């Protein structure tokens, strides 16, 4: 479980630049594996070994300037409610604006850690000018230039110190299956259909689910918690549904889950928001099952399913080993198949493979297809073991780990998948010095 940190502030103060800088720093190291950068407004970051999920609220405001003020207030309220810490960004070039004062007014009442971040401070004169931000009543501030990263180190030091201690994910006894997806894809109806009672009110207005309920569920002799993410009761103030709100909810649910059932609406396809949710689950190393709902509404011929599936897999590359189940909640079509698949994925995620078996199967394959020589150096892989982590991670011990490139790591991952069935589960491959 990692903490959630939200970046708030009015438009054009540099929120996205800071966001990109903070997640890139980590992605350069950790996510080099798949090299996926998408248009995302949330991602993982870490500093001094402490990991957190970062949310850039800026990406969720659409509309004209007069809409902005109301929208920003709503966003700040949601961030206050949902995040563990808040970075409030202002801009030294324009100085304190009325909108900044509005945001500060909301943030002064908060008991969570709030960091006032003055951006675009790239010379001595601007350092002096930053003093006026004391007037916001939020105490000390941090001066940074998000464009070149100066000052971000001090900010991150203070931030990770202030984050609450997180609970390690192995503490819950029952596996948790989170049902996630964009509003109106049919998440609640799916859970209703499974439970067979209307404990959720299902209407066609996006975001009507008020209470996130964990439902204990037993099927195929397997007990688990079903988590509906559409939203714990929200504060009266946040009336209008925001895409941002459902995203915050999904982020939390994904972090807490073992397997994510990503529900998408067949009439809309695997669109940007669904992809965001998919990549977040993948980055968090969760089990994943894609459920294509409302399949009854799609005009079909013999090739439709295949083509639809191929299109989704294309968007997921390189992590394509994910089950896709076509369902219709309305007609109760294949909804139990969906759960059965989730149970299989959970078992794959918790699978432990004996070291002797790994070496017996993979070493001969590696011998036939060794890592390509790099700068005239030959890499010899001597030994393989699975690491004792909640999800599948493997260490390959060799003489020159730094010379093994990504394509070869993908080859190893594919061989692991081929021989041991990790369908629906991200697999991590690490090269270690023997």
Q: Is there a binding annotation on residue 216?
A: no
Q: Is there a binding annotation on residue 56?
A: yes
Q: Is there a binding annotation on residue 119?
A: yes
Q: Is there a binding annotation on residue 232?
A: yes
Q: Is there a binding annotation on residue 10?
A: yes
Q: Is there a binding annotation on residue 359?
A: no
Helix, strand or coil, per DSSP, at residue 267: coil
Rounded to 5 degrees, φ, ψ at 6 are -110, 140
Can you read off the two tokens belonging to residue 401? 């780990």
Q: Is there a binding annotation on residue 258?
A: no
Q: Is there a binding annotation on residue 153?
A: no
Q: Is there a binding annotation on residue 120?
A: yes
Q: Is there a binding annotation on residue 346?
A: no
Q: Which residues of 258-293 are buried (b: 16+ CB within 10 A; e: fewer)?
A: bbbbbbbbbeeebeebbbbbbbbbbbbbbbbbbbbb
Residue 11 DSSP label: T
Q: Is there a binding annotation on residue 49?
A: no
180: β partners: 262
Q: Is there a binding annotation on residue 36?
A: no
* Residue-wise DSSP of 302-348: TTHHHHHHHHHHHHHTT-----EEE-BTTTTBSHHHHHHHHHHHHHH
Q: Name the residue among 266, 264, 305 with its Cα closest to residue 288.
A: 264
Q: Is there a binding annotation on residue 231?
A: yes
Q: Is there a binding annotation on residue 409?
A: no
| Cα 179 to Cα 181: distance, rounded to the nearest angstrom | 7
Q: Is there a binding annotation on residue 58?
A: yes
Q: Name the residue among 303, 391, 403 with its Cα closest to residue 350.
A: 391
Q: Is there a binding annotation on residue 295?
A: yes
Nearby residues of 139 by Cβ (< 8 Å), 6 or more positions away: 116
Q: Is there a binding annotation on residue 149?
A: no
Q: Is there a binding annotation on residue 188?
A: yes
Can you read off the two tokens belonging to residue 184? 């109106």
- Asked if residue 330 lies in contact with residue 293, where contact means CB atoms within 8 angstroms, the answer is no
Nearby residues of 287 by Cβ (< 8 Å), 6 or more positions away: 258, 259, 260, 342, 345, 346, 348, 349, 424, 425
Q: Is there a binding annotation on residue 148?
A: no
Q: Is there a binding annotation on residue 301?
A: no
Q: Is there a binding annotation on residue 98?
A: no
- Asked if residue 341 lies in contact with residue 306, where contact means CB atoms within 8 angstroms, the answer is no
Helix, strand, coil % (nearest 5) of the chain?
A: 40, 20, 40
| Cα 160 to Cα 147: distance, rounded to the nearest angstrom | 21
Can you read off the two tokens belonging to residue 346? 């959970």
Helix, strand or coil, per DSSP, at residue 154: helix
Q: Is there a binding annotation on residue 35?
A: no
Q: Is there a binding annotation on residue 230?
A: yes
Q: Is there a binding annotation on residue 265?
A: no
- How many other CB atoms are there within 10 angstroms of residue 338's CB atom? 25
Q: Is there a binding annotation on residue 151?
A: no
Q: Is there a binding annotation on residue 228?
A: yes
**Which residues carry a binding-site annotation?**
9-16, 56-60, 119-122, 181-188, 228-232, 293-296
**Which residues carry a binding-site annotation for GTP?**
9-16, 56-60, 119-122, 181-188, 228-232, 293-296
């Amino acid at each position: 479980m990692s903490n959630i940190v939200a970046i708030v502030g009015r438009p054009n103060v540099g929120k996205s630049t800071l966001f990109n800088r903070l997640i890139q720093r980590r992605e350069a190291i950790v996510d080099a594996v798949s090299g996926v950068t998408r248009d995302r407004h949330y991602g993982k970051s870490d500093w001094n070994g402490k990991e957190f999920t970062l949310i850039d609220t800026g990406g969720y405001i659409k509309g004209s300037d007069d809409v902005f003020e109301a929208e920003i207030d709503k966003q700040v309220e949601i961030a206050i409610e949902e995040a563990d810490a808040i970075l409030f960004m202002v801009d030294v070039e324009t100085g304190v604006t009325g909108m900044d004062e509005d945001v500060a007014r909301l943030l002064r009442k908060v008991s969570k850690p709030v960091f006032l971040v003055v951006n675009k401070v790239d010379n001595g004169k601007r350092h002096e000018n930053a003093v006026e931000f004391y007037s916001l009543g939020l105490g000390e501030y941090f001066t940074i230039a998000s464009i070149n990263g100066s000052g971000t180190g001090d900010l991150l030091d203070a931030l990770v110190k202030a984050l609450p201690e997180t609970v390690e994910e192995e503490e819950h006894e029952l596996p948790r299956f989170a049902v996630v997806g964009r509003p109106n894809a049919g998440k609640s109806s799916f859970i209703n259909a499974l439970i067979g009672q209307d404990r959720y009110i299902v209407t066609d207005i996006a975001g009507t689910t008020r209470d996130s309920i964990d439902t204990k569920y037993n099927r195929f002799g397997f007990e688990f918690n079903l988590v509906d993410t559409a939203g714990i009761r929200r504060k009266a103030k946040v009336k209008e549904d925001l895409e941002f709100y459902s995203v915050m909810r999904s982020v939390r649910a994904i972090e807490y889950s073992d397997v994510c059932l990503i529900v998408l609406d067949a009439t809309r396809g695997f669109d940007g928001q669904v992809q965001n949710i998919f990549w977040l689950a993948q980055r968090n190393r969760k089990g994943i099952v894609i459920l294509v709902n409302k399949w009854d509404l799609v005009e079909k011929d013999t090739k439709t399913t295949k083509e639809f599936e191929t299109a989704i897999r294309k968007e997921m590359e390189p992590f394509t080993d994910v089950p896709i189940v076509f369902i219709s909640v309305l007609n109760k079509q294949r909804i139990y198949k969906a759960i059965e698949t989730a149970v299989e994925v959970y078992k794959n995620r918790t699978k432990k493979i004996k070291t002797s078996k790994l070496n017996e199967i993979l070493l001969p394959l590696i011998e036939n297809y060794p890592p390509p020589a790099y700068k005239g150096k030959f890499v010899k892989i001597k030994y393989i073991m699975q690491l004792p982590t909640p999800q599948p991670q493997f260490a390959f011990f060799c003489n020159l780990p730094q010379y093994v490139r990504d394509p070869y790591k993908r080859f190893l991952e594919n061989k692991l998948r081929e021989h041991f069935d990790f369908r629906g589960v991200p697999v991590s491959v690490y090269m270690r010095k023997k």
